[in-house]
């Protein structure tokens, strides 16, 4: 069974204030589970945070202009908005 930590335990491990941990949880920077009014943080989530988190290791896929044009056609975007989007993409 995975170990879960209290906010106080997380704060002690990170050597930060408890309020900082609450802010991290509320902003989604640290994954946690709310049990009633209390937060619990899986030990694995803390380890992931300390290693830089999944968000930093994932890269966004870049689309070609042709793919974007196909998306706009499929979504039936008006020609006027399509032109504006194309202008933004060429800047």
pLDDT: which is higher, 75 or 47: 47
Where in the chain are the domains? 4-56, 59-91
Mean pLDDT along residues 63-77: 76
Q: Give the per-residue SS3 of the chain.
A: CCCEEEHHHHHHHHCCCHHHHHHHHHHCCCCCEEECCEEEEEHHHHHHHHCCHHHHHCCCCCCCHHHHHHHHHHCCCCHHHHHHHHHHHHC
pLDDT value for 53: 59
pLDDT, tens digit, for every residue of 25-36?
998 899 999 888
pTM above 0.85, yes or no: no
Mean pLDDT along residues 55-84: 72
């Amino acid at each position: 069974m995975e170990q879960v930590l209290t906010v106080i335990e997380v704060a002690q491990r990170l050597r930060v204030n408890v309020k900082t941990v609450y802010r991290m949880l509320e902003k989604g920077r640290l994954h946690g589970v709310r049990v009633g009014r209390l937060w619990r943080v899986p030990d694995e989530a803390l380890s992931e945070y300390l290693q830089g988190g999944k968000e930093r290791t994932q890269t966004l896929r870049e689309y070609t202009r042709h793919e974007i044009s196909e998306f706009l056609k499929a979504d039936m975007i008006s020609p006027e908005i399509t032109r504006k989007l194309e202008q933004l993409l060429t800047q």
